Structure 1
Amino acid sequence: MDIVNIDSVLADFPQNRTSERVAGIDGYDVRLVKTEGDVPWHQHDAQEMHLVLDGALTLVFRDGNEITLRKGDINVIPAGIEHCAHATPGTNVIVFEPSQQ
Protein backbone atom coordinates (compact mmCIF):
# COMPACT_ATOMS: atom_id res chain seq x y z
CA MET A 1 0.00 0.00 0.00
CA ASP A 2 1.75 3.08 -1.31
CA ILE A 3 1.39 6.64 -0.12
CA VAL A 4 1.21 9.33 -2.80
CA ASN A 5 1.97 12.89 -1.77
CA ILE A 6 0.02 15.14 -4.13
CA ASP A 7 2.17 18.23 -3.47
CA SER A 8 5.35 16.30 -4.31
CA VAL A 9 3.90 14.94 -7.55
CA LEU A 10 2.73 18.40 -8.63
CA ALA A 11 6.11 19.92 -7.79
CA ASP A 12 7.79 17.40 -10.12
CA PHE A 13 5.53 18.20 -13.07
CA PRO A 14 7.63 19.91 -15.75
CA GLN A 15 4.89 22.10 -17.21
CA ASN A 16 1.17 22.71 -17.52
CA ARG A 17 -0.93 20.18 -19.37
CA THR A 18 0.74 17.38 -17.45
CA SER A 19 -1.20 14.35 -16.30
CA GLU A 20 -0.02 11.38 -14.29
CA ARG A 21 -1.78 8.28 -13.01
CA VAL A 22 -1.14 8.22 -9.26
CA ALA A 23 -3.46 5.38 -8.22
CA GLY A 24 -6.16 3.02 -9.42
CA ILE A 25 -9.34 1.64 -7.93
CA ASP A 26 -11.88 -0.83 -9.35
CA GLY A 27 -11.10 -0.18 -13.02
CA TYR A 28 -10.64 3.57 -12.62
CA ASP A 29 -7.47 5.65 -12.81
CA VAL A 30 -6.88 8.41 -10.31
CA ARG A 31 -5.00 11.04 -12.31
CA LEU A 32 -3.33 14.19 -11.10
CA VAL A 33 -3.61 16.91 -13.74
CA LYS A 34 -1.85 20.26 -13.92
CA THR A 35 -3.48 22.38 -16.59
CA GLU A 36 -4.37 25.83 -17.86
CA GLY A 37 -6.09 27.21 -20.92
CA ASP A 38 -8.59 25.52 -23.17
CA VAL A 39 -9.44 21.84 -23.51
CA PRO A 40 -11.29 21.06 -26.78
CA TRP A 41 -14.74 19.49 -27.08
CA HIS A 42 -14.77 15.80 -26.20
CA GLN A 43 -16.81 13.09 -24.50
CA HIS A 44 -16.17 9.86 -22.63
CA ASP A 45 -17.74 6.40 -22.77
CA ALA A 46 -17.95 6.33 -18.96
CA GLN A 47 -18.43 8.80 -16.13
CA GLU A 48 -15.60 11.20 -15.30
CA MET A 49 -15.11 12.97 -11.97
CA HIS A 50 -13.14 16.16 -11.31
CA LEU A 51 -11.93 17.36 -7.90
CA VAL A 52 -10.29 20.79 -8.11
CA LEU A 53 -7.29 21.22 -5.80
CA ASP A 54 -6.22 24.70 -6.93
CA GLY A 55 -7.36 27.27 -9.48
CA ALA A 56 -10.64 27.10 -11.36
CA LEU A 57 -11.98 24.77 -14.05
CA THR A 58 -14.94 25.90 -16.16
CA LEU A 59 -16.85 23.12 -17.89
CA VAL A 60 -19.09 24.02 -20.85
CA PHE A 61 -21.72 21.63 -22.18
CA ARG A 62 -23.34 21.47 -25.64
CA ASP A 63 -26.74 22.33 -24.16
CA GLY A 64 -25.32 25.74 -23.18
CA ASN A 65 -24.92 25.02 -19.47
CA GLU A 66 -21.66 26.07 -17.88
CA ILE A 67 -20.25 25.43 -14.41
CA THR A 68 -17.09 26.63 -12.72
CA LEU A 69 -15.37 24.40 -10.20
CA ARG A 70 -13.04 25.98 -7.65
CA LYS A 71 -10.79 24.60 -4.92
CA GLY A 72 -12.62 21.81 -3.09
CA ASP A 73 -15.41 21.43 -5.69
CA ILE A 74 -16.30 18.05 -7.20
CA ASN A 75 -18.31 17.32 -10.36
CA VAL A 76 -19.24 14.08 -12.11
CA ILE A 77 -19.92 14.21 -15.85
CA PRO A 78 -22.19 11.39 -17.04
CA ALA A 79 -21.03 9.11 -19.84
CA GLY A 80 -21.57 10.45 -23.36
CA ILE A 81 -21.96 14.12 -22.39
CA GLU A 82 -19.92 16.31 -24.72
CA HIS A 83 -18.02 19.08 -22.99
CA CYS A 84 -15.04 21.40 -23.24
CA ALA A 85 -13.14 23.15 -20.48
CA HIS A 86 -11.11 26.21 -19.58
CA ALA A 87 -8.64 26.21 -16.70
CA THR A 88 -7.12 29.28 -15.07
CA PRO A 89 -3.34 29.37 -14.60
CA GLY A 90 -2.24 27.21 -11.67
CA THR A 91 -5.19 24.81 -11.89
CA ASN A 92 -4.60 21.36 -10.40
CA VAL A 93 -7.27 18.67 -10.59
CA ILE A 94 -7.73 15.07 -9.53
CA VAL A 95 -9.58 13.20 -12.26
CA PHE A 96 -11.19 9.78 -11.85
CA GLU A 97 -11.68 8.09 -15.22
CA PRO A 98 -11.85 4.54 -16.56
CA SER A 99 -8.46 2.83 -16.80
CA GLN A 100 -6.93 2.71 -20.26
CA GLN A 101 -5.84 -0.93 -20.30
Structure 2
Amino acid sequence: MEPTAASSAQPIDLQEKFAQFSDTWSPKVIARLNDYEIKLARLDGEFVWHSHADTDELFLVIAGNLTIQLEPADGGAVELRAGQLYVVPRGVRHCPKADGEVLAMLIEPAGVVNTGDAGGELTASYDDSLAG
Protein backbone atom coordinates (compact mmCIF):
# COMPACT_ATOMS: atom_id res chain seq x y z
CA MET A 1 0.00 0.00 0.00
CA GLU A 2 1.36 3.40 -0.99
CA PRO A 3 1.48 5.94 1.90
CA THR A 4 -0.74 9.02 1.72
CA ALA A 5 -0.13 12.45 3.21
CA ALA A 6 -2.19 11.42 6.23
CA SER A 7 -0.12 8.30 6.84
CA SER A 8 3.34 9.71 6.17
CA ALA A 9 5.77 10.07 9.03
CA GLN A 10 5.99 13.85 8.60
CA PRO A 11 3.67 16.26 10.43
CA ILE A 12 1.82 18.90 8.44
CA ASP A 13 2.80 22.43 9.41
CA LEU A 14 -0.29 24.64 9.06
CA GLN A 15 1.61 27.94 8.97
CA GLU A 16 3.87 26.56 6.24
CA LYS A 17 0.81 25.53 4.21
CA PHE A 18 -0.90 28.93 4.71
CA ALA A 19 2.31 30.64 3.49
CA GLN A 20 1.94 28.85 0.13
CA PHE A 21 -1.19 30.72 -0.96
CA SER A 22 -2.80 34.14 -0.58
CA ASP A 23 -6.14 33.90 -2.42
CA THR A 24 -9.29 34.10 -0.34
CA TRP A 25 -12.39 31.90 -0.29
CA SER A 26 -10.53 29.17 -2.19
CA PRO A 27 -9.98 26.16 0.11
CA LYS A 28 -6.84 24.05 -0.40
CA VAL A 29 -6.80 20.34 0.47
CA ILE A 30 -3.85 19.59 2.76
CA ALA A 31 -4.71 16.04 3.90
CA ARG A 32 -7.29 13.29 3.69
CA LEU A 33 -8.96 11.35 6.48
CA ASN A 34 -10.96 8.38 5.22
CA ASP A 35 -13.53 9.94 2.87
CA TYR A 36 -12.97 13.45 4.26
CA GLU A 37 -10.68 16.26 3.20
CA ILE A 38 -8.87 18.63 5.53
CA LYS A 39 -8.75 22.05 3.86
CA LEU A 40 -7.18 25.39 4.70
CA ALA A 41 -8.67 28.68 3.58
CA ARG A 42 -7.97 32.37 3.89
CA LEU A 43 -11.23 34.27 4.42
CA ASP A 44 -11.82 37.99 4.12
CA GLY A 45 -15.10 39.86 3.69
CA GLU A 46 -18.49 38.26 3.22
CA PHE A 47 -19.03 35.01 1.32
CA VAL A 48 -22.34 33.91 -0.26
CA TRP A 49 -25.43 32.50 1.43
CA HIS A 50 -25.55 28.78 0.71
CA SER A 51 -26.22 25.35 2.16
CA HIS A 52 -24.96 21.81 1.71
CA ALA A 53 -27.89 19.39 1.45
CA ASP A 54 -25.86 16.24 2.04
CA THR A 55 -23.23 17.14 4.62
CA ASP A 56 -22.34 19.08 7.74
CA GLU A 57 -19.45 21.57 7.43
CA LEU A 58 -16.82 22.16 10.11
CA PHE A 59 -15.10 25.55 10.47
CA LEU A 60 -12.06 25.74 12.79
CA VAL A 61 -10.60 29.24 13.18
CA ILE A 62 -6.80 29.22 13.33
CA ALA A 63 -6.37 33.02 13.38
CA GLY A 64 -8.75 35.98 13.33
CA ASN A 65 -12.47 36.27 14.05
CA LEU A 66 -15.19 34.70 11.93
CA THR A 67 -18.95 35.14 11.99
CA ILE A 68 -21.04 32.29 10.63
CA GLN A 69 -24.29 34.02 9.72
CA LEU A 70 -27.32 31.73 9.97
CA GLU A 71 -30.98 32.18 9.14
CA PRO A 72 -32.88 33.60 12.17
CA ALA A 73 -34.70 30.29 12.66
CA ASP A 74 -31.30 28.58 13.03
CA GLY A 75 -29.93 30.98 15.64
CA GLY A 76 -28.93 34.09 13.70
CA ALA A 77 -25.12 34.00 13.95
CA VAL A 78 -22.20 32.26 15.61
CA GLU A 79 -19.09 34.25 16.50
CA LEU A 80 -15.78 32.36 16.41
CA ARG A 81 -12.31 33.43 17.45
CA ALA A 82 -8.96 31.65 17.11
CA GLY A 83 -9.08 28.18 18.62
CA GLN A 84 -12.86 27.78 18.26
CA LEU A 85 -14.86 25.66 15.85
CA TYR A 86 -18.45 25.33 14.73
CA VAL A 87 -20.24 22.67 12.75
CA VAL A 88 -22.92 23.97 10.37
CA PRO A 89 -25.54 21.21 10.17
CA ARG A 90 -26.43 19.85 6.74
CA GLY A 91 -29.14 21.81 4.98
CA VAL A 92 -28.69 24.95 7.11
CA ARG A 93 -28.24 28.13 5.05
CA HIS A 94 -25.19 30.04 6.19
CA CYS A 95 -22.87 32.82 5.12
CA PRO A 96 -19.36 33.13 6.60
CA LYS A 97 -18.18 36.69 7.18
CA ALA A 98 -14.68 37.81 8.12
CA ASP A 99 -13.90 41.37 9.18
CA GLY A 100 -10.21 41.22 8.29
CA GLU A 101 -8.28 38.13 7.31
CA VAL A 102 -9.18 34.82 8.94
CA LEU A 103 -7.17 31.62 8.64
CA ALA A 104 -9.49 28.64 8.87
CA MET A 105 -9.52 24.87 8.57
CA LEU A 106 -12.48 23.09 7.02
CA ILE A 107 -13.26 19.39 7.34
CA GLU A 108 -15.71 18.05 4.78
CA PRO A 109 -16.40 14.95 2.69
CA ALA A 110 -14.26 14.77 -0.44
CA GLY A 111 -15.62 16.80 -3.33
CA VAL A 112 -17.77 19.29 -1.42
CA VAL A 113 -18.12 22.53 -3.39
CA ASN A 114 -17.42 25.62 -1.26
CA THR A 115 -20.51 27.51 -2.47
CA GLY A 116 -22.86 24.56 -1.96
CA ASP A 117 -26.21 25.13 -3.67
CA ALA A 118 -25.44 28.79 -4.53
CA GLY A 119 -22.75 28.33 -7.18
CA GLY A 120 -21.53 31.56 -8.77
CA GLU A 121 -18.25 33.37 -9.18
CA LEU A 122 -16.92 32.46 -5.70
CA THR A 123 -17.05 28.74 -6.49
CA ALA A 124 -13.46 27.61 -6.02
CA SER A 125 -11.78 25.17 -8.36
CA TYR A 126 -10.76 21.93 -6.71
CA ASP A 127 -7.22 22.33 -5.37
CA ASP A 128 -5.37 19.47 -3.71
CA SER A 129 -1.91 20.72 -4.65
CA LEU A 130 -0.93 21.16 -0.99
CA ALA A 131 -1.93 17.61 -0.01
CA GLY A 132 1.39 15.99 -0.31
TM-score over 0.5 for the pair: yes
Runs (4+) of structure 1 exceeding 4 A deviation are: none
Which range moves more in the overlay, 60-69 or 47-56? Answer: 60-69
The gaps in structure 1 that reach 5 residues or longer are: none
| Offset, 1:19 | 1.9
Percent identity between the two aligned chains: 28
Q: 2:51 aligns with which of 14, 28, 43?
A: 43
Q: Which has the higher strand share?
A: 1
The gaps in structure 2 that reach 5 residues or longer are: 1-7, 113-132
SS at match of 2:16: helix
State the partner residue of 1:4. 12
State the partner residue of 1:23. 31
State the partner residue of 1:93. 104
Q: Does the 8 Å CA contact 2:28/2:41 hold for their aligned counterparts?
A: yes
In structure 2, C-alpha distance between the alignment counterparts of 1:11 and 1:88, rounded to whole Å: 20
| Offset, 1:6 | 0.6
The one-letter code of the counterpart of 1:24 is: R
Instruction: Please state if 1:65 is matched with 2:65.
Output: no
Instruction: Please state if 1:56 is matched with 2:65.
Output: yes
Indicate the structure (1 or 2) with the bigger Cα radius of gyration: 2
The one-letter code of the counterpart of 1:96 is: I
Q: Does the 8 Å CA contact 2:25/2:47 hold for their aligned counterparts?
A: no
Aligned 1:71-90 pairs, distance under 5 A: 71-90=82-101
In structure 1, C-alpha distance between the alignment counterparts of 2:23 and 2:92, rounded to whole Å: 28
In structure 1, C-alpha distance between the alignment counterparts of 2:106 and 2:35, rounded to whole Å: 13
